[in-house]
Amino acid sequence: MSTLEIKDLHVSIETEQGEKEILKGVSLVIKTGETHAIMGPNGSGKSTLASTIAGHPRYTVTSGSITLDGEDVLEMSVDERARAGLFLAMQYPVEVPGVTMTNFLRTAKTAIDGEAPALRTWTKDVKAAMDQLRIDADFAQRNVNEGFSGGEKKRVEILQLELFKPKFAVLDETDSGLDVDALKVVSEGVNRAHATGNMGTLLITHYTRILRYIKPEFVHVFVDGKVVEQGGPELADRLEDEGYDRYVAGAGSAAEPAAV
Amino acid sequence: MTAEATEKARIGAPSIAGFTEEGEQLVSSKVDHKHNDGTTVMASRAERLTSQNVADFKLPDGREEEWRFTPVRELVPLLTDGANDDDALRTVVEAPEGFQAAPLAIGQAPRATTLVPADRAAAVASANAPEALHVVVPAGAQPEEPVRVVLSGQGAGKRSNSHIVLEAGAGSKSVVIIEHEGSANHNGNVEIFVGEAAELTVVSVQLWEDDAIHLAQHDALVAKEGVYKHIAVTLGGKIVRLNSNVRFSGEQAEAELLGLYFADAGQHLEHRSFVDHNVPNCTSNVLYKGALQGAGAHTVWVGDCLIQKQAVGTDSYEKNQNLVLTDGCRADSVPNLEIETGLIAGAGHASSTGRFDDEHLFYLMARGIPEDVARRLVVRGFLNEIVQKIKVPALEERLTEAIESELTAGEN
Ligand SMILES: Nc1ncnc2c1ncn2[C@@H]1O[C@H](COP(=O)(O)OP(=O)(O)OP(=O)(O)O)[C@@H](O)[C@H]1O
Ligand SMILES: [Mg+2]
């Protein structure tokens, strides 16, 4: 049983107009086996939270903490965080020229496990995982994300989730850009990973439609860099009906508008 | 996301779509153009001056089409007609018994029957290399080990001109590796004959020291059913400019011109290829891949491909891909495809320059891969496509190591 704990996290970025605070005190605790959904309007800071957990250099933590089983995540480099068991399925997966998927997957797996995977079983595992996510076999020979469609990129993120077996997965709008069938296939992948009982999930989304397939125990409403309300799955249903207007209007009294 | 892909084609370079069978439009494209920078675009590669006579070539000033990317001012010593310095270059040949023939004097056939200089550097080399190394792979021979020619420059600025003639006899199958190391101001011509149904791979490896300058013209003539592969591997040298050219003397012949280069800060590495489809039913494939890293790293690829009117049934493709690893690099990439007949199996070109940037690095590191491994992964993966085609395990290993040490050098 592992715990990922985010405490009063404040995060800023450098902009042309100077430093801008985006996360304004976020606290969350996620345990193995739990699924937490974070829902919030555009620009509320959801991706900022996800990228900060992964350690993207653009984001500066000005105060607060992130710990994994008590270990200070903020002290770790990006690759150390991944090896410690954190995984970020990105909203916009990056195309990496020159590196085939096969080569990439094997290198990453080796880095995460600290030893090379057994060649015979690995090749089989990769193929089986690709099959289940309906990823064509010839993707293995293509460069990482290069020329993949938006939906294909998302599937490949979940492929990695299944192969790397992280302790905590942060899924940043994995549902956006997916058609209904792909949404189902991808959700099944997440559920398979979850069913191992060794993973906690932080699911970032705008829409409730993915929650038909992936069932969160906790829903957090995120507005203007903060969690403004927490609840169970019923909160998601309410958001579906009412939208974020209520919260945004509330936040609108603050100096900065929350949505862009 | 800063990954960019560019497709450049020369003005007037035709695409296959909409071609008439006779290729009429093309002929009308053979008018002189001007580049924006005032240099002249050649109407057709076929009209390029070739001559054995140094005086026929003016000293270039950098505005000529074929010199416009090159730092010509630094080349004056090499482009000046004059004899070799004493002990400028040492040559060691490793070849099976009987492969090394007597040297060829200027004008002694087959020397100069295939290689006619296409620029001043090659003309200077021809005129100032009184004895050409002559290697002949006998007809039908299939030596197990590659033939190795090691050329060691004996000091920066030392003037060296050389001419090498390689003949692959009919039905033979062989690999010739020409290695360049040390330092010199080197003009090197290589003239290659691929006999009927012979298979010859020529690997020219440039592992020069940082202060070497190397200008080269490698010309091959491929006979009926011959299979020719030329691989330029350029990692070292201050300025390297290598022209790899091929034409055919019989049908059903194949040519593959490949290249791999890695330019560091201050290096100018230029590769030019010219496939002259002068005979029907031949195949060509050109692929050059390069990585650039460090301030002032400059690479150039110019790929000329001419499909002459009589060369029906031609199948040709050319591609250049560059990977830019840091700021301050420049990769020029110019495919020139001229097609004078529509009766061909295929013709195409592609050129792309991609950037490896912090977002790529972040992505790989976010999957647990340490930074140095991530950089190596990208470059090795990218260049491996060429390395794998060398098919000489010992050399592949050495080159992989050399590429990795280029990378580590760039990290410090
Ligand atoms: N480089 C930047 N310069 C200025 N503002 C920025 C920059 N990068 C991010 N922001 C701002 O930070 C805020 C949070 O962005 P973030 O991407 O975290 O939002 P999000 O909740 O993920 O939105 P979405 O739902 O659209 O994905 C936004 O207001 C955004 O405009
Ligand atoms: Mg986002």
Query: Is B369 part of any domain?
Result: no
Q: Which residues have any ligand 1 atom within 6 Å of their CB? A: A 13, 15, 20, 22, 40, 42-48, 91, 206, 260
The pLDDT score that the predictor gives to residue B381 is 81
Query: Is A260 part of any domain?
Result: no
Which residues touch A185 (CB under 8 Å, ≥6 apart)? A132, A133, A134, A155
Query: Is A24 part of any domain?
Result: yes
Q: Are B121 and B215 in contact (CB under 8 A)?
A: yes
What's the A48 CA to ligand 2 centre distance in angstroms?
7
Ligand 1: nearest atom to the Cα of A260: 29
> What pTM was estimated for this model as a whole?
0.76
Mutate to test the interface with B, among A94, A102, A164 (most CBs of B within 10 A): A94
Counting residues of chain B whose pLDDT is more than 70, the rounded percentage is: 89
The pLDDT score that the predictor gives to residue B92 is 98
pLDDT of B75 above 90: yes
Residue A127: which domain range? 3-255
Query: Is A176 part of any domain?
Result: yes
B27 — pLDDT class (breaks 50, 70, 90): very low
Q: pLDDT, tens digit, for every residue of B227-252?
A: 999 999 999 999 999 999 999 999 99
Q: pLDDT, tens digit, for every residue of A24-77?
A: 999 999 999 999 999 999 999 999 999 999 999 999 999 999 999 999 999 999
Q: pLDDT, tens digit, for every residue of B330-370?
A: 999 999 999 999 999 999 999 999 888 789 999 999 999 99
ipTM associated with this complex: 0.94
The pLDDT score that the predictor gives to residue B43 is 58
- How far does CA B173 lie from the centroid of its chain? 22
- How far does CA B321 lie from the centroid of its chain? 14
If you ran DSSP here, which 8-state letter would residue B86 be given?
Answer: T
Strands (E), chain A: 3-15, 18-31, 35-39, 59-68, 71-72, 86-89, 168-172, 200-205, 218-223, 226-231
Taking contacts as CB-CB distances below 8 angstroms, the residues of chain A near B358 are 57
Q: Which of A55, A95, A160 sits opposite B3 (nearest CB)?
A: A95
The pLDDT score that the predictor gives to residue B169 is 98
Q: Average pLDDT for residues B296-304, to the nearest whole number?
A: 97
The pLDDT score that the predictor gives to residue A244 is 83
How high is the mean pLDDT in each 10-residue block of chain A (260 residues)?
Answer: 97 94 97 96 95 97 98 98 98 89 96 94 96 94 92 96 98 92 95 96 90 94 95 89 77 44
Query: Is A118 part of any domain?
Result: yes
Query: Is B28 part of any domain?
Result: yes
* Domain count of the fold of chain B: 1
A86 forms beta bridges with A168
Q: How far is B357 from chain A (nearest CA, A)?
A: 9
Candidate from A9, A11, A42 with most ligand 1 atoms within 8 A of CB, to mutate: A42
B4 — pLDDT class (breaks 50, 70, 90): very low
Q: Average pLDDT for residues B139-146, to the nearest whole number?
A: 97
Q: pLDDT, tens digit, for every residue of B93-126?
A: 999 999 999 999 999 999 999 999 999 999 999 9
How far is the CA of A177 from the CAs of A51, A146, A151, A152, in angstroms?
A: 20, 17, 6, 10
Q: Residue A155's domain is classified under what CATH number?
A: 3.40.50.300
Q: Is B130 part of the contact surface with chain A (CB cutoff 8 Å)?
A: no
The pLDDT score that the predictor gives to residue B23 is 32
* Domain count of the fold of chain A: 1
Query: Is A18 part of any domain?
Result: yes
Query: Is A238 part of any domain?
Result: yes
Beta strands at A168-172 and A200-205: parallel, antiparallel or unpaired: parallel
The pLDDT score that the predictor gives to residue B297 is 97
Q: Which of B3, B366, B381 sits opposite A99 (nearest CB)?
A: B381
The pLDDT score that the predictor gives to residue A92 is 93
The pLDDT score that the predictor gives to residue B411 is 58
Query: Is B188 part of any domain?
Result: yes
Residue B287: which domain range? 2-354
Query: Is A120 part of any domain?
Result: yes
Taking contacts as CB-CB distances below 8 angstroms, the residues of chain B near A77 are 365, 371
Residue in chain B nearest A56 by alpha carbon: B362
Q: Are B409 and B266 in contact (CB under 8 A)?
A: no
Can you tell me the distance from the alpha carbon of A166 to that of A4, in angstroms, rounded to the nearest whole number?
Answer: 12
Query: Is B73 part of any domain?
Result: yes
Can you tell me the distance from the alpha carbon of A22 to that of A193, in angstroms, rounded to the nearest whole number?
Answer: 31
The pLDDT score that the predictor gives to residue A249 is 64
Q: pLDDT, tens digit, for every residue of B251-263?
A: 999 999 999 999 9
Q: pLDDT, tens digit, for every residue of B306-321?
A: 999 999 999 999 999 9
The pLDDT score that the predictor gives to residue B15 is 35
Torsion region of B223: left, alpha or beta (phi above 0 gives left; psi -120 to 50 gives alpha)? beta
pLDDT of B156 above 70: yes
Is the CA virtual torsion B125, B131, B135, B136 positive or negative?
positive
